[in-house]
A = this chain, B = another copy of it.
Amino acid sequence: MSMTTPEETVLEKTKQRLAEQVIQFFQHQMPFNTHLGMQVSVENDDQVTIRLPWQNTLTGNSIHQILHGGVTASMLDTVGGLTAILHAIRNLEADGITDFESKFRNMGTIDMRVDYLRPGKGEVFIATAQVIRKGNKVAVCRMELHNESGTHIAFGTGTYMVG
Contacts and interface: CB of A to CB of B under 8 A. Distances in A.
Contact of A116 (B30, B68, B110, B142): B110
B105 A116 contact: no
A96 interface: no
B157 A157 contact: yes
B115 A157 contact: yes
Provide the main secondary structure of the chain A interface.
mixed
Taken together, the copies of this chain in the complex come to 4
A117 B159 CA distance: 11
Nearest to A57: B35
Contacts of A119: 108
A125 B15 CA distance: 37
A97 interface: no
Interface string A1-41: 00000000000000000000000000001111101100000
A125 B142 CA distance: 22
Given A57-B32, A133-B115, A159-B159, A110 B140 contact: yes
